[in-house]
């Protein structure tokens, strides 16, 4: 059906983004293609590659999954921030990624986790690194006729520590700034770090300079100074670039500072 309708077809999964745009006549597709009855797309399972989360897994299912808590604690920490309970009851994991809202939590998480997004079409499947999947505001690497089918999160070695937080006007609103972080500490040094911010760019923003400063100095304040010159957030009616940059720095100190305190 995607091949038949092309740009005039829209996928319906959880409908938490599509249905409001239909109601407001912001989208007028010729066909709404409901994929909810396709089998196997809502599984959450351990695999040889790590943890696989099906595209149709509801946010609520992911939030309360024992496997997710054990194998992807960063995802587990982010889930309570995704919308409100009613949204999490219907919204889907894959739908959030395919929408590619730059203020959403899950895109930043999968980038921080070096996840792989598996997509399918009539011509077969292909795997896309999460870092390459998000191309711009509501824009992804999906080509016509492709849908997200699952996300594979690599199995960690137990040495990573994970942290997540966001700042919004109200809990459940889209974040003014948010951070999905992973830090690996060995001895008294930071061995590796993944700092991925959301709400501060058109895609999830990995702060490479702040990561390098954190590894070099082992000091969250040094990372904060690097971050201040690295981020170039947009401004809108909800917050100026200066505000978002400041909030990102607050989150860096709050989240990474807590992670480092666990490993003096």
pLDDT at position 264, please? 44
Mean per-residue pLDDT over the chain, rounded: 94
pLDDT band at 262 (very low <50, low <70, confident <90, very high): low
pLDDT in tens, 169-199: 998 888 999 999 999 988 778 999 999 999 9
How far is the C-alpha of 257 from the C-alpha of 145, rounded, in Å? 44
Say if residue 263's pLDDT is above 70. no
Say if residue 139's pLDDT is above 70. yes
pLDDT in tens, 206-254: 999 999 999 998 889 999 999 999 999 999 988 999 999 999 999 999 9
Asked if 41-154 and 160-261 have one fold, the answer is: no
Q: Which CATH architecture does the domain made up of 41-154 adopt?
A: 2-Layer Sandwich (3.30)
Q: How many CB atoms lie within 10 A of CB 86?
A: 11
Say if residue 30's pLDDT is above 70. yes
248 near 197, Cβ under 8 Å? yes
How far is the C-alpha of 221 from the C-alpha of 23, rounded, in Å? 47
* Domain 160-261 -> CATH class: alpha beta
Say if residue 2's pLDDT is above 60. yes
- Ordered by start, the domain boundaries in the chain are 41-154, 160-261
pLDDT at position 221, please? 94
pLDDT band at 157 (very low <50, low <70, confident <90, very high): confident
Say if residue 108's pLDDT is above 60. yes
């Amino acid at each position: 059906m995607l091949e038949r309708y092309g740009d005039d077809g829209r996928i319906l999964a959880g409908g938490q983004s599509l249905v409001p745009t239909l109601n407001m006549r912001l989208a007028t597709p010729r066909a709404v293609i409901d994929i909810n009855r396709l089998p196997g797309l809502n599984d959450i399972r351990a695999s040889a590659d790590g943890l696989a989360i099906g595209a149709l897994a509801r946010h609520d299912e992911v939030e309360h999954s024992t496997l997710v808590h054990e194998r992807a604690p960063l995802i587990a920490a982010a889930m309570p921030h995704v919308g409100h309970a009613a949204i999490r009851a219907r919204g889907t994991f894959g739908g959030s990624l395919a929408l590619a809202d730059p203020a959403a939590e899950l895109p930043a998480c999968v980038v921080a986790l070096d996840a792989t997004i598996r997509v399918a079409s009539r011509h077969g499947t292909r795997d896309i690194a999460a870092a390459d999947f998000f191309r711009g505001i509501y824009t992804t690497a999906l080509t016509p006729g492709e849908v997200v089918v699952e996300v594979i999160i690599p199995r960690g070695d137990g040495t990573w520590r994970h942290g997540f937080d966001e700042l919004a006007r109200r809990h459940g609103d889209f974040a003014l700034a948010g951070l999905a972080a992973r830090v690996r500490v060995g001895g008294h040094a930071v061995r590796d770090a993944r700092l991925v911010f959301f709400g501060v760019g058109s895609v999830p923003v990995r702060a490479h300079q702040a990561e390098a400063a954190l590894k070099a100095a082992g000091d969250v304040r040094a990372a904060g100074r690097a971050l201040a010159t690295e981020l170039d957030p947009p401004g809108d009616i909800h917050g100026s670039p200066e505000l978002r940059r400041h909030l990102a720095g607050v989150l860096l100190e709050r989240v990474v500072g807590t992670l480092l305190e666990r490993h003096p």
